[in-house]
Amino acid sequence: MTSSWRDSLISDHHFISHVLDIIAKTPSQQSSINRLKEILSLLLEFTDKYHNIKEENYLFPLLVERGIPQSGAIHNMIMEHEAERELLIKMIASLESPTPGSSQVIFKKIDEYIASRKSHMLQEEKQLFSRKTFTAKDDEKLQHAFEQFVTKLYNKNVNAHFHNKLAEIERNVTQAVLYGKISGETLEKIIKQFPYIIFYFDRNYQLSYTNTTDEKFQLGKSIQECFPKDLSQRITTSGETQNSEIIQHVKQTYFIRSVLNDFNEPMGYLVIRQNSF
Ligand SMILES: [Fe+2]
Ligand SMILES: [Fe+2]
């Protein structure tokens, strides 16, 4: 927990700016839609259910109590909170059922959202957070109210809750950015240069991918058709244990590992054979 209500709100603004930077880095293409949905949902939770509540339920009422008119900057900020919430909800809903070309429309809306959020935070810091309206007691009261609110909502683990989610999203976006820079064709050419032969078998042990052009290894072939009986048996036994294993077979080295889905269930099996350098 940060030391004062002001630090707490400004640290929230830094978090939001960080999320906005990640959104701006996300490649504007159809394949980014799921990632975008995740980021916007995190933003909706953080701004609307957490940060804006601290402002609307605690900071703004105390400012009004201390004589700041409800009709000026405070009114504008509340109106902007509402408009942003509606925009985020609409964007998330349209990402739920994307249609061809819809990503371009959403990316345009996202640019509008980023600009409006950045200006909102700047105005708040300039017009409301920096006012010398509060006494030391007010500062303490507000900080205490924030702490109680956070504890009730996130059991004090607010930082871990949001920062872990953001770290995961950031890792995915970085991967997407890397892949976005090279085409599938280039990636395939790079893989073909590996001093290894890669075989990927699906859950039924049928060959789904390989980087070799050797006709013996045609896609769709079963593992028994690709490798001698004793080797294919060792691979299937090893694949089921979900551990990685290195085996030697007729002077060649094979690395075997199951590939797991998000639920830790095997979705296929990777076999890598080392070629001579
Ligand atoms: Fe705000
Ligand atoms: Fe704010």
pLDDT digits (tens, 9 = 90+) for 90-138: 888 888 877 766 667 787 888 889 999 999 999 999 999 988 889 999 9
Q: Which two tokens stand for residue 110?
A: 């996202």
Give yes or no: residues 167 and 57 share one domain.
Answer: yes
User: Which pLDDT score, from 0 to 100, does residue 68 have?
Assistant: 92
Are 30 and 165 spatial neighbours (Cβ–Cβ below 8 Å)?
Answer: no
Report how far ligand 1's centroid is from the alpha carbon of 81 (Å).
6
Whichever domain contains 194, its CATH number is 3.30.450.20
Instruction: Kindly give the distance from the C-alpha atom of residue 55 to the centroid of ligand 2, in angstroms, as a whole number.
Output: 7
Name the DSSP class of 200: E
- Write out the two tokens for 168: 């995961």
Distance 55 CA to ligand 1 centre (A): 6
Tell me the ligand closest to 81's alpha carbon.
1
Is 262 in contact with 247 (CB distance < 8 Å)?
no
- What's the CA-to-centroid distance between 90 and ligand 2, angstroms? 21
Same domain, 53 and 167: yes
Lowest mean pLDDT among 133-137, 175-179, 194-198: 175-179
- Please tell me the distance between residue 9's alpha carbon and the centre of ligand 2 in angstroms: 6
Nearest-angstrom CA–CA distance, 132 and 154: 30
pTM: 0.64
Q: How far apart are CA 260 and CA 176, in angstroms?
A: 20
* DSSP designation for 101: T
Answer with the one of 159, 181, 203 that is the final residue of a domain: 181
State whether 163 and 190 are in the same domain. no
